[in-house]
Amino acid sequence: MFPVFRHKGKVMPKVLNMQRSLWLLGGLSLLAYLGIARLSHGFVYGQGHWQRPIGLFVAVYLTVWVFSMLALRQARQLPHDHLGLWVILTFALLFRLTLLFSQPIQEDDFYRYLWDGKVVASGLNPYQIAPSTVRNQAESGKESQRFARLLKQDEDIALILSRVNHAEVPTIYPPLAEAVFALTAWLAPGSLLALRLALLGFDLAVCGIIMVILRHCASNVLLVVVYAWSPLVIKETINSAHYDVVPTFFLTLALLCALKDKIVLAHASLALAILGKVYPVLLLPVFLWRTVVCHGRSQALLGFGVVFTIVILGYVPFLDAGAMLWQGTLAFADRWQANSLLFPLLGWLTGERWVTNAVVVVLLGGAVLALLCSHDVRAEREFLRVNFLVLGALFLLSPVGNPWYFLWIVPFLCVFPLRSWLLLSGLLGLYYLWFYFVYRDAAETFRWVIWLEYVPFYGLLMWEWYTTERGVDESPTHL
């Protein structure tokens, strides 16, 4: 299936040149990540906003993305090569270790993670009260006093609480997230390094699962380079310490189990992904329909029961929050909007946020139905393709297009390395220019950057569709 460049037991020069290219690209990328780590020291919380090297960081990010695409081009042409794989994985680990002790660049969500973790590890319910209420001791009631004791016990936690963003809103993170935050808080309260190490573990596990999926689908395992060398994954998971890699792990595990016909494990993993972030609930019809057509309705009913039971059990420990359990999620759905192109356009057409939300829900539901009708999910690659397209539609229609939300899609690009989506993974780095303009009171200028992020992607996406439909390009996924 893949060319083996050997002659009388010797590796031919073409393969050696490709391997050397991987080494070179890995070395250049490592230097770039060392540069990002150095630049990160210019991003000190609350200080020197005008002096922050945001533009230089974006330039280095785009450079390392180019290196990763060149590495993908080399990997596609190599046979199943153990040396090439070890080169990819070794550099992937080095890239991550390089940023392990860096300063977070323009992100502070991890303060909420550390606060929530301390709250849950202390036996309290993070859904019950907004952090701003805990800060304001004068208005504290009996319930908030229990939270306030945490501040007296640990000065570091008090500092973390003072830096929690959107402090007026109770946590929006589902139970699995709270469990991960609590575990890291139990091991090392208030430690960003402990949180990063936990996320690194999930991140490396995703790499492993992707390789198993590639082998299962008879694809070149070296395509794991898409995820392993992705600057978006590395920056958002290790430097920014965004939590999305955790539900991504459970989603990729669910996909692998489904491919191997492990029905209970597949649906259990999907349930955990839903408990990590609600988005994968859109994939439940895809998993259930594949189970119906491959194994029958009774097995699909079993799968649904597994998902329902695990999700309910996940929320049980937090039910004493009552209606507050959903306050953060509702606030997110009602107010949040960032780095999105289609959602604001729909909002301009509808005029009301709730109408726009309803339109998006209808569009996503229609997309799921249309994809299930047009693809045979009994075929393994088609099953993966439908999941990929559903999540892709969700990302594009979402009111929030933050780069770390794209982490869910990157594993699919190892199987379907489409030029358009690979391009978007690089262009999303332009998101960080928003801060540059905000610090200069020119936030409105950033809307043109959003067009720069998405218009090339949509143009290339339409070209791929056109050439595929017309039969002009028989291999539209090739770089």
> Where do the domains of the chain lie?
6-107+194-470, 109-188
Q: What is the spatial distance between Cα 438 and Cα 162, in angstroms, rounded to a whole number?
A: 22
Six-digit token string for 120: 């849950």
Q: What is the spatial distance between Cα 259 and Cα 447, in angstroms, rounded to a whole number?
A: 41
Would you say residue 90 has pLDDT above 50? yes
The pLDDT of residue 478: 46
Q: Identify the band that residue 141 occupies on the pLDDT scale cut at 50, 70 and 90.
A: low
Percent of the chain past pLDDT 70, that is, above it, reads: 92
Q: Identify the band that residue 223 occupies on the pLDDT scale cut at 50, 70 and 90.
A: very high
Chain segment 419-470, per-residue pLDDT in tens: 999 999 999 999 999 999 999 888 888 889 999 999 999 999 999 988 876 6
Q: Identify the band that residue 188 occupies on the pLDDT scale cut at 50, 70 and 90.
A: very high
Would you say residue 177 has pLDDT above 80? yes
pTM of the model: 0.92
DSSP 209-256: HHHHHHHHTT--GGGGHHHHT-HHHHIIIIIS--TTHHHHHHHHHHHH
Q: What is the mean pLDDT of residues 339-344?
A: 92
The pLDDT of residue 465: 87
Q: How far is CA 283 from the centre of its chain?
A: 16
Chain segment 353-395, per-residue pLDDT in tens: 889 999 999 999 999 999 999 999 999 999 999 999 999 999 9
Half-sphere exposure of 382 (CA within 13 A, CB side): 11
One-letter amino acid identity for 350? T
User: Mean pLDDT score of the chain, rounded to an integer?
Assistant: 90
Chain segment 32-48, per-residue pLDDT in tens: 999 999 999 999 998 88
CB atoms under 10 Å from CB of 6, counted, come to: 11
The pLDDT of residue 155: 76
Task: Answer positive or negative: Cα dihedral of 281, 256, 220, 248.
Answer: positive
Six-digit token string for 94: 């080095």
Would you say residue 8 has pLDDT above 50? no
Which backbone phi and psi does 338 adopt, to 5 degrees?
-160, 140
Better-predicted residue by pLDDT, 251 or 332: 251
Better-predicted residue by pLDDT, 336 or 469: 336
For residue 446, give the H/E element and its range. helix 446-470
- Let me know: does 68 contact 223? Beta carbons within 8 Å: no
Pick from 135, 124, 131, 141: nearest CA to 168: 131
Beta bridge partners of 6: 11
Chain length of the chain: 479
Q: What is the spatial distance between Cα 60 and Cα 99, in angstroms, rounded to a whole number?
A: 14
Six-digit token string for 17: 């040149």
The pLDDT of residue 469: 66
